[in-house]
Structure 1
Amino acid sequence: MMHPDDDVSGRRSAAWFGLDGKLGFVHRSKMYNQGYSSPMFDGRPVIGICNSWSDLAPCNAHLRQVAEAVKRGVLMAGGTPLEFPTISLGETLMRPSAMLFRNLMAMDVEESLRANPLDGVVLLGGCDKTVPAQLMGALSADLPTVMVTGGPMLNGKFRGRDAGSGTHVWRFSEEVRAGRMSTADFAEAEACLSRSAGHCTTMGTASTMACLAEALGLSLPGSAAIPAVDARRHRIAEHAGSRIVSMVEECLAPSSVLDRRSFENAVRVSAAIGGSTNAVVHLLAIAGRAEVELSLDDFDALAAEVPLLVDLLPSGRFLMEEFAYAGGVPAVVRELGDLLHADAATITGRSLGENCAGAENWNREVIRCRAEPLREPGAHTAVLRGNLAPDGAVIKVSAASEELLRHTGTALVFDTIEEYHEQADSPDLPVDAATVLVVRNAGPSGYPGMPEIGNLAIPKKLLEAGVRDMVRITDGRMSGTSYGTVVLHVAPESAVGGPLALLRTGDRVTLDVPARRIDMDVPDDELRRRASGPAKADDTGSGYAWLYREHVRQADTGADFDFLAGRRGHAVPRRHL
């Protein structure tokens, strides 16, 4: 039995398993009922495996098997693995929005780490919100941490061609509404897009956050893009289990890895891969937990010189399988070269540059070189400001139509997404190709939870006329698998009195992406006349929904809770026996 005065007593687990007397007896004895023997708690690093497995989160449903690989690695390195569950956020099933529960999951992860005898943790996540939620919680607890993502599905296949999850759903559904695809064909496609375990195959939010965890230095090199069912996914999980034991010995916590350079690298990698707009709100929240200064404007400024290198849907042609085979994130890092901070620390104990020094780009169609990019610098997620969004809004330039990046049109305003859906197919809808569609009350507080409704379906009568894109504006988000000229994350949101609440149908709206502006042509005195103070938020729903509305911050700062700032650390809980 380990004694508290032994040279390993600095480990947190020693405050549980290293004690004499009644306390140590209780902690060790109860663990024996699982078949553990005493050496398992005799000074070995105790490693938590934080598993977001759930049948309700299809992207994460295979993580039980991944956890077994992590356990092997922990045992091989001389540690004791203890797997534990947290809530899981499945983007495809949760209502009203998985984003509503990101902060709850982050709290679940953080408090589980704080309350239990863990020296380090391996996080297992995949679906959109699970990765940022786990990172947020782990950074607040500040234990040695490795992020292992679940990996993308195999490419979807429909009638002999690749089909990407999310992106092709939106395309197919609009083809059905336009009368160019039958409902029978649509039903056939339904079973063709999700061919294996794993998350979305496009460069949506799940793929983006996996790549950015690697760019931040919190995942092992090359791990983000490996398909979920590839044997290498389990090998890298085993490696993560071994590595976390070493990190405990090295006292390598996230606070020793992450700094401003890490986040600058992540922003620039996101621009190079055509990352999801959701990465903006998640990286801001993660930076807040890491106590690193990062602002909305940084996303525009830092990406200004970065070309789009990765040719993946929704901004390009290929899917994550091809990205993995081409070389994944390490190949992108090496292509970006001096645009990144090569000296940024990582969980390997080596710098980002050292990790990727030998990376090869095996397919220059999928991952372009800087001299011949898919798109020149400027195709990243741009930050807009103006009298419609004084605190900022974002637009994914690479997914927008070039001819709409400068556009003036008449607003058609809807107070809810449900109201829009009720009218979108009406032949009497007063809309043409120049109209600017607006849906408000979809922000963090107003919905609540900032749902992915921004890629509004094109009105049916316009689809039938051949229109495939138009300017759309919302204080909500859109799926990272989506495309189109969509202004998102308008801040402040309408529900807390933002200017979007003052816009009226018939007002002229101007989008000017090159000038980074989004404005309504309404005189200031008229806006003052319209203003009547913030709308009263709906206080119905669960106790958590109330807590969320009361304490969520706006999108431009990451939509985290205001009471979680500046509370990093992993103090041992007080004893009670």
Structure 2
Amino acid sequence: MTGQAAGPADGAGERHAGHAGPAGPAAASAAASVSAAASASAASGPVSAAGPAGPAGGAATGPTAERAGEPRTGERLRSHQWYGTGGLRSFSHRARTRQLGYLPEEHLGKPVIAVLNTWSDINPCHVHLRDRAQAVKRGVWQAGGFPLEFPVATLSETFQKPTPMLYRNLLALETEELLRSYPVDGAVLLGGCDKSTPALLMGAASADLPAVFVPAGPMLPGHWRDQVLGSGTDMWKYWDDRRAGLIGDRELAELETGLARSPGTCMTMGTASTLTAAAEALGVTLPGASSIPAVDSGHERMAAASGRLCVDLVHRDLRLSSVLTREAYEDAVTAVLALGGSTNAVIHLIALAGRSGVRLTLDDFDRIARTVPVLADLRPGGRYLMEDFHFAGGLPGFLTRIADLLHRDRPTVAHPTLREQLAGALVHNADVIRPRERPLADEGGVAVLRGNLCPDGAVIKHIAAEPRLLRHTGPAVVFPDYRTLQRTIDDPALGITPGHVLVLQNAGPVGGPGMPEYGMLPLPAYLLKQGVRDMVRISDARMSGTSYGACVLHIAPESAVGGPLALVRNGDLVTLDVPARTLRLEIPDAELARRRAAWTPPPRRYERGYGALYTEHITQADTGCDFGFLARPGRTPDPCAG
């Protein structure tokens, strides 16, 4: 049954059982048993990968074990360059590892697994990952490997300002360089909050070692009085109710205690859930891992199994480049669109694909979106939450609904093919995971727009907008920056009506900088009091995956670099036509040319430091907002050479 772990995944026997033994047959059989566990996972539901199949150390069975081959031990390991080549440096490395408290037989000749942990006290989405890292290390020991934990940057969506997106590429760079410069053979990546997932995978893809991603998992559902709350989504909803005078300070204080009840990421299909689902669809997690609630005991079992699996991947030298193929990215896009996932996935998947040498574009999203229905009835576009999705079948069950749209003969980290990974996966609740004949929407949840206002593209999550606004023409009310918007939006003198189009400039990758989640522009309080809850809003910003509304986002090129959005003035007519996939500024070309000639760029906000580096090298939204010098594969020096 979905949610039940198969086998003694909690770590039978000694906590570090067998870690002191030398590499050899024992390590090989441990790795093989991990293969058997992974291959059995799909048949038992989305959490079953969290337990080994059969007795520990038993003969390997299943498709993954059949291709395991000879274990990569001793001189065939990358870490051998540090420890086993002879000479002064190897002598020094072995001495310093003894200084860490380890005997040579505990690590020499064994796969060294980096456990990259984004835990910190300030990140509520990841606060449980300190314990999960211990489970991962336990799994590595059990499989005959040698785990080393690395603390890496924590990107807290809630607390980090001006936006964690400013630091996604920094974590990606840190991940790549740590994996490249230290004696590691494989990596387990622990993350889940919005920018952490793409950052860890971008860095790991560039380093191209065997790697497994461990999603942080969604938090428990929220509760307030008789209402079930979705984090983020209901925060925006009730904050608008507060601004409209419908609830008071007492209700707001009660809501504070009920919105986020446990560690973990937002339990709606927001950015975190979208990106971890995309990671699973790509094939870099254990089956079903992306939806296990953060505080469920199955989450710890999954973490331990991921450690065991990573050792197996090292033995088989299955690197991320073998998994992150063109077909894998197309399947991830298909899954995201069918889930009604976050618009942020567009930027992150384009950036991640670039690190893999795959050119993924907005045209790919548009092409796939026209063929994929939305089948996940999840907030903010639907009714249910991630725990409901998990016990309805999780992503393995969900993917069976769209299996004919997927490339099922590509490999994953857990199985030789996606087809085998999905074998036996079931859907247990057809209201949460809908059948094809009863979709939430006929086309994918994100639409790509083109027009003279967004020559390089823009996106809108149309399933989260009021349908009446999907075709709309209205006069623009322009805000040159977010601070001006905050200061003036409630001023009745602006004369904003429900038919106006709210326009925010200078909130993109350079202008933000970091493209903050300002895209769900607040509505005037006096309109909220009249019952208005949606208007057309356009910007070069992003919005939270838990947000909603007729919000056109990611306009490229952005206004801060001279994109047409910078030329919009109060009163200009703007036409949005989602069915036609167009966004137009109804101004003659000659007038636009005159305005462009008079335009001057706004001053950059950062004069030094990382912010200045970021604004100098960041690319536009349509190409993934990566640094130009990182955005493609390329040769890098051997860290041990010379």
SS in 1 for 2:314: helix
Match of 1:470 in 2: 535
Contact 1:452 1:478 in 2 (8 A): yes
Contact 1:436 1:471 in 2 (8 A): yes
In the TM superposition, 1:202-351 aligns within 5 A as: 202-351=268-417
Match of 1:371 in 2: 437
Which of 144, 148, 151 is 1:78 aligned to? 144
The letter for the 1-side match of 2:511 is G
1:182 Cα deviation (Å)? Answer: 1.1
1:126 Cα deviation (Å)? Answer: 1.3
Contact 1:142 1:568 in 2 (8 A): no
Q: Is 1:505 aligned with 2:562?
A: no
SS in 1 for 2:373: coil
**1:191-237 Cα shifts (integer Å, max 9, x gaps):** 11111110101100000001000000011100000000001111111
Which of 261, 268, 278 is 1:195 aligned to? 261
Residues 347 and 295 of structure 1: CA distance in aligned 2, closer, same or farther (over 3 Å): same
TM-score, normalising length: structure 2? 0.87
Contact 2:273 2:291 in 1 (8 A): yes
Which of 94, 106, 109 is 1:40 aligned to? 106
Match of 2:621 in 1: 555
Which of 219, 231, 250 is 1:165 aligned to? 231
1:34 Cα deviation (Å)? Answer: 2.6
SS in 2 for 1:292: coil
C-alpha separation in 2, matches of 1:570 and 1:48: 20
C-alpha separation in 2, matches of 1:167 and 1:565: 32
C-alpha separation in 1, matches of 2:257 and 2:337: 32
Match of 2:513 in 1: 448
Contact 1:132 1:209 in 2 (8 A): yes
1:539 Cα deviation (Å)? Answer: 4.7
SS in 2 for 1:58: coil
Match of 2:158 in 1: 92
Contact 2:339 2:445 in 1 (8 A): no
Unaligned runs of 5+ in 2: 1-21, 24-71
SS in 1 for 2:290: coil
Identical-pair percentage = 52
1:12 Cα deviation (Å)? Answer: 1.3
Q: Which moved more, 1:274-283 or 1:379-388?
A: 379-388
Contact 2:357 2:633 in 1 (8 A): no
**1:411-447 Cα shifts (integer Å, max 9, x gaps):** 0000111111111222323200000001110000111
1:161 Cα deviation (Å)? Answer: 2.2
Match of 2:523 in 1: 458
In the TM superposition, 1:362-441 aligns within 5 A as: 362-376=428-442, 378-441=443-506
Contact 2:366 2:447 in 1 (8 A): yes
Which of 483, 493, 516 is 2:558 aligned to? 493
Residues 486 and 539 of structure 1: CA distance in aligned 2, closer, same or farther (over 3 Å): closer
The letter for the 2-side match of 1:82 is L
Residues 385 and 534 of structure 1: CA distance in aligned 2, closer, same or farther (over 3 Å): farther
In the TM superposition, 1:56-75 aligns within 5 A as: 56-75=122-141
SS in 2 for 1:248: helix
Residues 570 and 239 of structure 1: CA distance in aligned 2, closer, same or farther (over 3 Å): farther
C-alpha separation in 2, matches of 1:65 and 1:263: 31
The letter for the 2-side match of 1:540 is Y
Match of 1:114 in 2: 180
Q: Is 1:20 aligned with 2:86?
A: yes
Contact 1:17 1:41 in 2 (8 A): no
The letter for the 2-side match of 1:313 is R
Runs of 4+ in 1 over 6 A off after TM superposition: none
SS in 1 for 2:304: helix
C-alpha separation in 1, matches of 2:150 and 2:127: 15
Match of 2:585 in 1: 520
C-alpha separation in 1, matches of 2:310 and 2:364: 32
TM-score, normalising length: structure 1? 0.97
C-alpha separation in 2, matches of 1:259 and 1:186: 47
C-alpha separation in 2, matches of 1:428 and 1:352: 58
1:44 Cα deviation (Å)? Answer: 0.2
Contact 1:140 1:569 in 2 (8 A): no
Contact 1:158 1:192 in 2 (8 A): yes
Between the two proteins, the alignment pairs up a number of residues equal to 572
